Amino acid sequence: MLIRGGCAATIDDFKAEFLLTAGLRIDRRFENRGVIEWWFNLKHLVSPMTDVLEIRMNDLSHGLQSRFIETENGLNVHLLEAGSHDAPLVLLLHGFPELAYSWRRLIKPIADLGFHVVAPDQRGYGKTTGSAAGFDVDLTEFGMVNLAQDVISLAKALDHDQIALLAGHDFGSPVATWTALMHPAVIQNVILMSSPFAGPPKVKTDDGFDIHRDLAQLPSPRKHYQKYFGEREAETHMLNAPCGFRQFLRAYFHCKSADWSGNQPHPLSHWSATEIARMPRYYIMDLDADMAQTAISMAPSQEEVDACHWLEKAELEYFANEFKKTGLQGGLNWYRRAASAEEQSALATFEGQKIQAPLAFIGGAQDWGVRQFPGALEAMEAQATKDFRGTYLIEGAGHWVQQEKPEAVLKVIRQMLPSQ
């Protein structure tokens, strides 16, 4: 029997905690035969913040390493990595509500191609520390200028002065975009996933147009999910969902994936309330609903959970446990800063500039995220970069494309990697 945090724990408890912490899965062929030998390389890394014992088991690590590294931008970054530290660097940036762990199926395969592959928990997420916590904070640190500097500072801390490939998914996509735009000498290749880049914003003029007002005035009043994510109560609604946070998170992952039959995206003609209200309610919510209520209304059946190949129970538990420890506000603060006039003004100074590095876009064919801003995909393809290498919409994948279809994503990544 083991003692952990003052409580007795069985070896099975210890093994289960390892699986959740390291994000590893047992091959059930061996599990069922009962021949797994548990070899622990124990590290007394008991965090005073989380009181979690970090452990590693060499036999089931799949080549992934978990560690922390301090950067000159004020963060102590938790990351997952694989590959030789002397090899060219590939950085993988997650979105919301995700973590470095979202890249679990791609880190080692990319490293096997001859690269040092790193996926960090970004500012405000997971085990990474050093950012302001809570709602009542200065949002400047969550703006793109600083998030891009996080990327550059991480590369420097890893002893790399170049990033061979920078890939970002969901909110990680704009971080990759702006890092490439602001630091062109560092970024050699870029892959954006799920969120296309239409180019830097123009200086906004007061033309009287208010999408949020217009959504609220529809016959069936609606609101944009990004506006909701900026509200003080959003984190509490999700963390304290009546069904439980784990069930909410499972529903949220399901309804934005290809597993939900309602995801049949198509181009939207223009940016207006009536047009964008054609999107599912996890994007354009009912005005009086919160996100927990919205996601649960599209929750998977037990049969759909059992049939899901890309999100197993232990993997869901890892996400749920991490967010229950740290909360969601760190990630939600990104949305709040992005919607602010200060952020739009800061980014408008780059108006007319294009990404210099070769760039490809990957999306799920069943992902509404690709189409949520009318015309953005087409603008990216035509004018946002000087060297556009193609759009790849992967069948059978929704929003979580790198989790749902990692093999198909890897094929595109291989095309964008520099020759070794």
pLDDT tens digits for range 265-277: 999 999 999 999 9
The pLDDT score that the predictor gives to residue 9 is: 36
Looking at every residue in the chain, the average pLDDT score rounds to 87
* Mean pLDDT for the stretch of residues 240-259: 98
- Per-residue pLDDT band for 31 (boundaries 50, 70, 90) equals very low
What CATH number labels 64-203+341-416? 3.40.50.1820
pLDDT value of position 39: 31
pLDDT of residue 208: 67
Strand ranges (E), 291-370? 359-364
Q: Can you tell me the mean pLDDT for 63-84?
A: 95
**pLDDT beyond 80 at 91:** yes
Confidence (pLDDT) at 420 = 66
In angstroms, rounded to a whole number, what is the distance separating the alpha carbons of residues 93 and 116?
A: 14
pLDDT at 328: 98
Residue spans of the domains in the chain: they are 1-61, 64-203+341-416, 211-338
Is the pLDDT score of 204 beyond 50?
yes
Q: What is the CA radius of gyration of the chain?
A: 21
Count of C-beta atoms within a 10 Å radius of residue 59: 12
Which amino acid does the sequence have at 340?
S
Q: Which DSSP symbol is given to 51?
A: -
What mean pLDDT do residues 365-374 have? 97
The residue among 332, 331, 384 whose CA lies nearest residue 355 is 384
Q: Is a pLDDT exceeding 50 seen at residue 27?
A: no
Q: How confident is the model at residue 206 (pLDDT cuts 50, 70, 90)?
A: low
C-alpha–C-alpha distance, residues 353 and 182, integer Å: 10
pLDDT band per the 50, 70, 90 thresholds, residue 263: very high
Query: Mean pLDDT across the stretch 125-132?
Result: 97
Q: What is the mean pLDDT of residues 342-351?
A: 95
Model confidence, pTM: 0.87
> Do 199 and 379 touch, CB atoms closer than 8 A?
yes
* Position 298 confidence tier, pLDDT thresholds 50, 70, 90: very high
* pLDDT value of position 202: 86
SS3 annotation, 214-281: HHHCCCCCEEEHHHHHCCCCHHHHHHCCCCCHHHHHHHHHHHCCCCCCCCCCCCCCCCCHHHHCCCCC
Please check the confidence at residue 44 and state whether its pLDDT lies above 70: no
Contact 131, 150 (CB under 8 A): no
DSSP 8-state code for residue 111: H
